[in-house]
Amino acid sequence: MHEFLNIKLIAMISLIGIGYFVVIIIAMHKLRPDYNFRSRYISEYAVGKYGQLAASSFVIYGLSILGIYLCLQTIMPVNARSNIGLILMAIWGVAKVIAGFFNSDLKTEQMSRHGIVHSITANIGVVASVICTIFLSIGFALNERTQSIALVTLIIGLVALILVVLLFLGLIGDMGLKYHHNVSGIFLSLHKLTGLTERLLLGVSVIWLAILVNFITH
Q: Specify the number of domains making up the chain.
A: 1
pLDDT tens digits, one per residue of 3-52: 446 888 999 999 999 999 999 999 999 999 988 889 889 999 998 888 89
CA distance linking residue 95 with residue 66, whole number of Å? 10
The whole domain housing 205 covers 2-217
- pLDDT tens readout for residues 136-153: 988 888 877 788 898 999
The per-residue pLDDT for range 164-182, each reduced to its tens digit, is 999 998 888 877 777 667 7
Rounded CA separation 203/167 (Å)? 14
Residue 64: other Cβ atoms inside 10 A: 26
Is the whole model's pTM more than 0.75, yes or no?
Answer: yes
